[in-house]
Amino acid sequence: MKLIAGLGNPGTKYRDTRHNVGFEVVDVLARRHGTAFESAPGEALMARVRSVGDGLLILKPLTFMNLSGHAVAELIRYYRIALSDVLVVVDDVNLPLGRLRIRARGSHGGHNGLRSVAGQLGTDEYARLRLGVGRGDGRRDLADHVLARFEADERETIRSAVDRAADAAEMFVTDNIEKVMNSYNRADDTATAE
């Protein structure tokens, strides 16, 4: 069984913000597979997809970003999911708007959600998909930037990137992480998988 965890902040105040693109990606996955979110072990919502690979759980923690590792770790333990079968989807201010970067493992890179996941799991040996939201104006506080909604001229780029990230997550479920990285870690952020 695979687990795709999209990280974000709960509540309508944070909907459609840069920090919540992880939620947007897993929402797309749930819609594509005609499944709905339900209560999950820990503070989270999950959707089940039985028709893909060996099965898929889609997770949305209901805690704030810096505590999201609790829900991810709880679901991994409850369903005995191997860390090699886990993909965490987050925003990344260090990537240009719409760019994807997938890694099999790595540091949290300053991202509080990934820091929380690694802290709860006791390792950073899990795959992550980062979706670029840009850094914004250097004079603006970074926290304000990630908690802001996308500008009108950015919305089409981010919508397309969210769809590509959902494609990459689906490939993770059916193929290996190396294939996902080779297909989506391209400098051309408009490239599609072959």
Is residue 191 one of the residues assigned to a domain? Answer: no
Domain contains 88: yes
Residue 194: is its pLDDT beyond 50? no
Domain around 128: 2-184
Tokens 């908690």 identify what position? 147
- Residue 194 in any domain: the answer is no
Residue 139: the pLDDT is: 66
Higher pLDDT, 139 or 13: 13
Is residue 25 included in any domain, yes or no?
yes
Write down the mean pLDDT value for the chain. 89
Which residues contact residue 162 at a Cβ distance below 8 angstroms, ignoring those fewer than 6 apart?
21, 24, 25, 28, 131
- Nearest CA to 91 out of 172, 155, 153, 162 is that of 162
Confidence at residue 138, expressed as pLDDT on a 0 to 100 scale? 65
pLDDT surpasses 70 at 140: no
Rounded CA-CA distance 12/32 in Å is 23
Residue 193 belongs to a domain:
no
pLDDT (tens digit per residue) in 107-126: 877 788 999 999 999 999 99
> What is the tens place of the pLDDT at every residue in 6-34?
999 998 999 888 889 999 999 999 999 99
pLDDT-derived band of residue 166, with 50, 70 and 90 as boundaries?
very high
Q: How many domains does the chain have?
A: 1
So which residues are the catalytic ones? Answer: 19
Q: Give pTM, 2 decimals.
A: 0.90
Dihedrals phi, psi of 28, to nearest 5 degrees? -60, -45
- Answer with the residue of higher pLDDT: 163 or 111: 163
pLDDT in tens, 20-76: 999 999 999 999 999 999 998 889 999 999 887 778 999 999 999 899 999 999 999
| 192: in domain | no
pLDDT of residue 190: 46
Residue 67 pairs with which residues in a beta bridge? none
Confidence label for 192 from pLDDT (cuts 50, 70 and 90) = very low
> Tell me, what's the pLDDT at 142?
67
Q: Is residue 66 in a domain?
A: yes
Phi-psi region of 84 (alpha: psi -120 to 50; beta: other; left: phi over 0): alpha
CA angle 165, 157, 9 (to 5 degrees): 60
Q: What percent of the chain has pLDDT over 90?
A: 66
CATH code, 108: 3.40.50.1470
**Residue 189's pLDDT is what?**
47
130 lies in some domain? yes
